[in-house]
Copies of this chain bind each other. A is one copy, B any other.
Amino acid sequence: MIHLESDYNNGAHPAVLRHFLDTNDERSQSYGDDRYSEHARQLIREACQAPNAQVYFLAGGTQTNATIIDCVLQPFEGVVCCDTAHINVHEAGAVEFTGHKVIALPHHDGKLRNSDLRQWLQGFFADETAEHMVRPGMVYITFPTELGTLYTADELRALHATCREYEIPLYVDGARLAYGLAASMDIDLPLLSRLADIFYIGGTKCGTLCGEAVVFPNGNAPSHMLSRIKRHGALLAKSRVVGVQFEALFSPAPDGEPLYLSLGRSAVSLAMHLRHLFVDGLGYKPYIDSPTNQQFYVIPNDDLPRLRQFIGFEPWAPVDATHTACRFVTSWATTSDEVDSLERSLLS
């Protein structure tokens, strides 16, 4: 049995847990001033080639989105995204709770299209009643998206250029960033740091027990971030709980690369193995063409019982009377043995 329901159902990557053990008897400062957080920040700056970056550690993804969006927006501004965006659908209104509108444009394969964004912005600023409307104060995208898809470097550059032109910051939600970076042909952390004004490096879905790292690559975070974060209930007293974990994930492995990147590659490589099995081996059609750790296939309903014998997974959406789109998610915790064994079972 292989479990592909989601990427947050395991514990922590063993290196993370080991680092908790190694550091447990040390005393440290609190509220972000602990040495682990300090060092993790430095490691992240290096991985991003962004020496002036400011880095803040928060506990979870919805918290991070709501806190950062509210901190960056002016009171009369809203955040523009596509309609499948996590903040628009699955955060229980956490952004609106902070008083800001989520302005949703149509998605294309889970992505915000630059031409749609430009057209909307042009329309907004040409509208004589614009002062009666919510002003766009941020553009939000996810990388990878909620549907597992990725922006290309050119698409990201185009969004970046539009945001520059309209002087609106571009914020990238990286809840699954490790998997996105592993799958992307042309985007790495240094490029992301040049094209995004703010992004977060997801921990919860990428090997930690909790925690996300928010990066302002240009060091232009709003003033009084500690007070702002605390006001949102998002400041951890014992901040080492996240700092230790990101120190583990961003410490260079023997090959010189942060663990964060290699655990992403492992999951994506196994997702591609799975894709080969499903498409070439079993003849299933992809529901969405995802290069990352979230895979979606159109499964004949008749096949579901057999699949369920070997895989834990989630139905995503009905396709027609006899087919269901299903989601299969690999993670840092998925092993080659599990996928090999699945292949043998399904193809036998």
Contact = CB atoms under 8 A, between A and B. Distances in A.
Nearest to A130: B227
Interface stretch (A71-79, A154-162, A276-284): A71-79
Contact of A210 (B74, B96, B204, B241): B241
Contact of A78 (B61, B91, B93): B93
Contact of A27 (B10, B60, B129, B133): B10
Most buried by B among A97, A223, A224, A237: A97
A89 B127 CA distance: 12
B100 A131 contact: no
Contacts of A99: 93, 96-99
A8 B237 contact: yes
B132 A92 contact: yes
Copies of this chain per assembly: 4
A173 to B, nearest CB: 14
A168 interface: no
Contacts of A165: none
Contacts of A78: 93, 96
Tell me what chain A mostly uses at the interface: helix, strand, loop, or mixed: loop
A273 interface: no
Interface in A1-46: 3, 6, 8-12, 14, 17, 20-21, 23-31
B12 A226 contact: no
A62 interface: yes
A224 B102 CA distance: 19
Interface string A221-243: 00110111011111111101100
Contacts of A21: 17, 21
A76 B233 contact: no
A24 B28 CA distance: 25
B59 A131 contact: no
Contact of A93 (B70, B76, B92, B129): B76
Interface in A121-152: 129, 131-135
A9 B238 CA distance: 7
Nearest to A132: B90
Given A17-B21, A30-B9, A209-B241, A93 B59 contact: no
Most buried by B among A8, A30, A223: A8
Contacts of A209: 20, 238, 240-241
Most buried by B among A6, A12, A25, A62: A62
Contacts of A61: 237
A101 interface: yes
A81 interface: no
A232 B28 CA distance: 28
B232 A210 contact: no
A67 interface: yes
A348 B166 CA distance: 49
